Amino acid sequence: MEKLGVIETKQFISVIMREKFDYTKWQQQKFDDVSSDDFNAAAVAYAKENPIQEVTPDQWDLKMLEEIATDPGCHEFVSADDAMKELGLL
C-alpha cells in the first residue's frame, strides 16, 4: 500500500478479486523476456505519461486508514483465496 497509496491499492484489490487468474504467474510470464533496463525505462516512461492523480479520501478510505492505525490485525497478510472465502466469494 505504501507504493500504490490507498486509492490505487483499493482499485488493485477490486480488480484482482473480480478476475479469476493467478496474478503472480501472469507477472512472471509477462516479463520473462524483458531485461531489467528495458523494464525500468518503460516504467519511467509510463510514470511520466501517467502521473498519479491525487484525490481526497472518501469515507471508506478514511475508515480503512483508521483501522490500519488502530487494529494490529490489519497489518497481517491474507492470501487472495482466504480473503475471498472470508468475504463469502468462494
Mean model confidence pLDDT for the chain: 82
Which residues span the domain enclosing 57?
6-86
The total domain count for the chain is 1
Q: Is residue 70 part of a domain?
A: yes
Q: Is residue 1 part of a domain?
A: no
Q: Is residue 65 part of a domain?
A: yes
Q: Is residue 81 part of a domain?
A: yes
**pLDDT tens per residue across span 45-87:** 998 998 888 889 999 989 988 888 888 777 777 788 888 888 8
Of 68, 51, 60, residue with least CA distance to 11: 60
CA pair distance 38, 79, nearest whole angstrom: 31
CA pair distance 30, 44, nearest whole angstrom: 18
Q: Is residue 39 part of a domain?
A: yes
CA pair distance 17, 37, nearest whole angstrom: 31
Q: Is residue 51 part of a domain?
A: yes
